Amino acid sequence: DTAVSQTPKYLVTQMGNDKSIKCEQNLGHDTMYWYKQDSKKFLKIMFSYNNKELIINETVPNRFSPKSPDKAHLNLHINSLELGDSAVYFCASSMGLDTQYFGPGTRLTVL
Amino acid sequence: SQQGEEDPQALSIQEGENATMNCSYKTSINNLQWYRQNSGRGLVHLILIRSNEREKHSGRLRVTLDTSKKSSSLLITASRAADTASYFCATFQAGTALIFGKGTTLSVSS
């Protein structure tokens, strides 16, 4: 019954590695997002996709590449991980401008 | 760029008391939303108020919006220990995504 799910929940990896986080929503929404929450709990939008098209791409290093294979999925691939990438990453979805529903988050720790 | 700014940053109250959190923002918006985040968890949507609305209620929650002052408030009445969490306001403009404030950490003790 999970509305927005993310995997994995925890990710611990070494600097320089490449990793992916997956997100799926079963709400039939047309828009999906990736947010980053830093250690001070500040949440910042990274990307937004509407009907598989990228519509928002904030100032994010190009080591981060989102991929939306279909409307229900938005994955985040990160190349050459750096210490500063350690954070909690949240996926969310919405129907147009309406309420956004968030996933449980993926806590990424880069050692 | 940060849009919403919550005040206070932290609030400690006793069970049964009311908790009021304020949010100020900078530019025009389509709607303003309040979210709750329990420690180590994802965000839970509480309430959405559109720019043409002034007040909205949901259970023990009351949200007001003053677009002339670019501010909103969230009132939680008769608070419970389970209300302990961080509360974020987020503003939405067409063509963009939600922009979150830094949050208010609410602690309700029994």
Residue A95 has pLDDT above 50, yes or no: yes
Tokens encoding A71: 């409307």
- Give yes or no for B93 touching A (CB within 8 A): no
The count of CB pairs under 8 A between chains A and B is 49
How many angstroms separate the CA atoms of A18 and B43, rounded? 27
Is the peptide bond between A61 and the residue preceding it cis, with omega within 30 degrees of 0? no
Q: Which residue of A has its CA nearest to B1?
A: A44
pLDDT tier, B7 (very low <50, low <70, confident <90, very high otherwise) = confident
Q: Are A108 and A8 in contact (CB under 8 A)?
A: no
> What is the per-residue pLDDT for A23?
97
Judged by DSSP in three states, B92 sits in strand
Question: Could you identify the residue written with the tokens 């997100």?
Answer: A23
Mutation to test the A interface, candidates B1, B47, B100, B102, most A Cβ within 10 Å? B100
Residue A90 to residue B94, Cβ atoms within 8 A:
no
Which of A51-55, A98-102, B44-48 is predicted least confidently?
A: A51-55
Judged by DSSP in three states, A63 sits in coil
Q: Are A48 and A102 in contact (CB under 8 A)?
A: no
Question: Could you identify the residue written with the tokens 């980053």?
Answer: A36
Which of A33, A45, A99 is the closest to B48 by Cβ? Answer: A99
Which of B2, B43, B86 is the closest to A102 by Cβ? Answer: B43
Is the peptide bond between A69 and the residue preceding it cis, with omega within 30 degrees of 0? no
pLDDT tier, A57 (very low <50, low <70, confident <90, very high otherwise) = confident
> What is the per-residue pLDDT for B1?
47
Tokens encoding A37: 């929450």
Which residues have a Cβ under 8 Å from the Cβ of B40 and sit 6 or more positions away? none
Which residue pairs, CB below 8 angstroms and at least 24 apart, start in A103-106? A103/A4, A103/A5, A103/A6, A103/A23, A103/A25, A103/B42, A104/A5, A104/A6, A104/A9, A104/B41, A104/B42, A105/A6, A105/A9, A105/A37, A105/B41, A105/B42, A106/A6, A106/A7, A106/A8, A106/A9, A106/A10, A106/A11, A106/A21
How many angstroms separate the CA atoms of B43 and B41, rounded? 7
Q: Are A91 and A37 in contact (CB under 8 A)?
A: no
Residue A75 has pLDDT above 50, yes or no: yes
Which of B30, B41, B94 is the closest to A104 by Cβ? Answer: B41
How much is the mean pLDDT over chain A?
A: 92
